[in-house]
Amino acid sequence: MNNAVAGFSKLSKTEKINWIAETYFSNAEEALTIIRNYWNSDEKLQQLHDEFIENTITNLYIPLGIAPNFLINGKYKTIPMAIEESSVVAAASKAAKYWASRGGFKTTIIDTEKIGQVHFTYSGDSEKLHAFFDRIKPKFFSETQSITKNMQQRGGGILDIKLKDKRSLLEHYYQLHATFETKDSMGANFINSCLEQFAATLKEEAQNEKLLADGEKLEVIMSILSNYVPNCLVRAEVSCPIEELAEKHITNPQEFAERFLQAVQIAEIEPFRAVTHNKGIMNGVDAVVLATGNDFRAVEAGVHAYASKNGQYASLSHAKIENGIFSFWLEIPLALGTVGGLTSLHPLVKFCLEILENPSAKELMEIVAVAGLAQNFAALRSLTTTGIQEGHMKMHLNNIINQFEATDEERYLIKAHFKKTAVSHSAVVEFIENLRKQTK
């Protein structure tokens, strides 16, 4: 079957959903019902969502959960998390409560610098280019004035612009490497607008200043921000005397602290483990990034690049035991915004930011880093004590129950049974099937 379609974006929404239903589903009516079931009954709200992207046909829901009791720098925070993975919010809440009675989380903003680059090629003399750059550098600032005016009023703007010679990596390749402070906005639009103006200025001034001799060329390849922001960095930490680590599953705190430390050390030296270890951190990070309307793909890309900054992919978190004190911390780059973008457009994002008491971008960086550290702590605690499956399967039980559309009575019986018995997918399915046979 040829499923190509011309001019899809120009079709009406009804035409689009009909095309999808008829092209890909044997029961088109059923497909249309699924699509419509996820439409918001408030037409205005649905239209808002329709307009976020092109070709919206419906909405894909992800649960929005709440992890309370996060004591961060002496203040309690309730953290909204948007995530589909069943155990994440439960783990975050548990870790929050655990550390709240052990001094809570401490955070520090290390820096907030963002980066953007104009990538270009130049075939002439390098010294001539450097001298030209030094002469025209003020123009990059003056000609972006209309873009930077508001940002400057908020205390941000362009921090610096450097010319970088990259010819050892690629023939004729240079960059304008610019750094920015974007205050409470993530700054993507601001940075990209500045960069495109830098590129225009570069080309124009090359002509004005007669930079190019016969046969020489200067070509702008592209202008774009970098999602690698190693100097937009936040640190989150927990620590306490080893004996205070004790609780139900930690009967020997010294042994626990040592095993925990070894688990972190393994992730520091073994990339296969480091990736999974960091994935656990990102369970917390992404969930808050998403709930607050930030760009989780940008955060993911930047964080994983940072995890490889020493040439080998490694753990983002670290631990130590010193003078009887257990400390556990992470440092991650986070380019986040609490103004602009979805933050005021999406009613639920606005709602989440309100739960977080309308944080500044710096405060949001701290909260997100804490969510990542809490998640990492919860995962390592389970992994080094009971194993991860106990908690996971308990949460997974709900998913299986839902999949079988269990009645309230069945639900009660299944939950009672699996309180005492190990949960596995096949065991739950068998139990439900037996239950249904008996009641036939």
Q: Which residues bind ligand MEV (CB under 6 A)?
A: 85, 276-277, 279-280, 283, 379, 383, 388
Quick check: 218 and 206 in contact, CB under 8 A?
A: yes
Is the Cα dihedral 262, 266, 267, 272 positive or negative?
negative
Q: How far is CA 222 from CA 173, 216, 321, 346, in A?
A: 12, 19, 48, 31
Smaller CB distance to ligand MEV: residue 316 or 364?
316
Cα-Cα-Cα-Cα dihedral of 371, 372, 378, 382, to 10°? 160
What is the layout of strands, in order, in the sheet containing 232-241?
106-112, 232-241, 325-333, 317-322
DSSP annotation of 170:
S
Smaller CB distance to ligand MEV: residue 191 or 423?
423
Kindly name the residue from 392, 394, 415, 417 that is annotated as catalytic.
Answer: 392
Q: Which of 334, 304, 330, 300 is nearest to 317 (CA)?
A: 330
User: What tokens does 53 get?
Assistant: 């992207």
**In sequence order, which residues have a C-beta less than 8 Å from that of residue 253 and are 6 or more positions away?**
242, 243, 244, 245, 246
Q: What type of residue is 85?
A: E
CB of residue 283 to ligand MEV, shortest distance in Å: 5
CB of residue 386 to ligand MEV, shortest distance in Å: 12
Quick check: 45 and 66 in contact, CB under 8 A?
A: no
Query: Is residue 218 classed as helix, strand or coil in its secondary structure?
Result: strand
111 is an active site residue:
no
Kindly name the residue from 50, 113, 286, 295 that is annotated as catalytic.
Answer: 295
CB of residue 383 to ligand MEV, shortest distance in Å: 6
Cα-Cα-Cα-Cα dihedral of 369, 280, 301, 230, to 10°? 40
50 is an active site residue:
no
CB of residue 276 to ligand MEV, shortest distance in Å: 4
Smaller CB distance to ligand MEV: residue 94 or 114?
94
What is the rounded CA–CA span in Å between residue 66 and residue 193? Answer: 36
| Beta-strand relationship, 64-72 and 75-82 | antiparallel
Is the Cα dihedral 320, 325, 326, 332 positive or negative?
negative
CB of residue 372 to ligand MEV, shortest distance in Å: 11
85 is an active site residue:
yes
Q: Which of 383, 101, 372 is nearest to 259 (CA)?
A: 383
Smaller CB distance to ligand MEV: residue 67 or 206?
67
Smaller CB distance to ligand MEV: residue 212 or 388?
388
Find residue 175's DSSP bridge partners: 119, 164
Smaller CB distance to ligand MEV: residue 128 or 279?
279
Smaller CB distance to ligand MEV: residue 23 or 308?
308
Kindly name the residue from 49, 85, 137, 394 that is annotated as catalytic.
Answer: 85
Q: Which residue is nearest to ligand MEV (CB)?
A: 280
Quick check: 286 and 368 in contact, CB under 8 A?
A: no
CB of residue 273 to ligand MEV, shortest distance in Å: 8
Which residues are tagged catalytic? 85, 279, 295, 392
